[in-house]
A and B are shown apart, each in its own frame.
Chain A
Amino acid sequence: AQTVTQSQPEMSVQEAETVTLSCTYDTSESDYYLFWYKQPPSRQMILVIRQEAYKQQNATENRFSVNFQKAAKSFSLKISDSQLGDAAMYFCAYRSARRDLKTGAQKLVFGQGTRLTINP
């Protein structure tokens, strides 16, 4: 079974600076997706960025970028020019690229989360 580990329960950063959130995962599959989700106090899970395992190039979305190290099974999120609105829980998640052979499901497996605080 796949597992996702976020070893930083809490992180803080000064506004306008850069912060990196860590994530490691374990899988025996070669084709999969990795995600970072943001969950503000409203509880809405918002997709921040997606990485396809077969792509060597790291994904970027504006101020958000990832460092994907497939061999090391590491998937960190870098937030540049941090803004007050970035404050939230951040979850790393894994999903197989294939549907479950029996059920067709594509379940997300989440880490425990990192609470990010932005200091003004």
Chain B
Amino acid sequence: GAGVSQTPSNKVTEKGKYVELRCDPISGHTALYWYRQSLGQGPEFLIYFQGTGAADDSGLPNDRFFAVRPEGSVSTLKIQRTERGDSAVYLCASSSGPYNEQFFGPGTRLTVL
């Protein structure tokens, strides 16, 4: 596709469950970022991939959060034992070009009941 895609668009889960959120970056973009946007706030950095490796995971809030990018393209954000405070929009962006501009996907809205 032409842009960054994210699936699912919306995810409703129960407290304590495990969820996976998927990001398909723009083809050829080696840099990939995950951000979390809580209600009424701006996005906050979670994790950065350069190729297959998580180069910077300093924004992950705790060890229930984990992300992978095994082939350097699609990335999956995994959240274990979800809590109500995890409810937010999770945005993915891939980056390229002379300004390393980040192109965002439409996000996944996660609701933990």
Which chain A residues have a beta carbon within 8 Å of chain B's beta carbons? 4, 33, 42-47, 50, 91, 93, 100, 102-113
Contact = CB atoms under 8 A, between A and B. Distances in A.
A93 B104 CA distance: 14
B106 A42 contact: yes
Contacts of A47: 101
B109 interface: yes
B95 A45 contact: no
Nearest to A115: B40
Contacts of B59: 107
B45 interface: yes
Dominant SS among interface residues on chain A: loop
B42 A110 contact: yes
Contacts of A44: 104-107
Interface of B: 31, 33, 35, 40-45, 48, 50, 55-56, 58-59, 89, 91, 93, 95, 99-102, 104-107, 109
B42 A111 contact: yes
A50 B42 contact: no
Nearest to B89: A43
Contacts of B104: 44-46
Nearest to A108: B102
Contacts of A93: 42
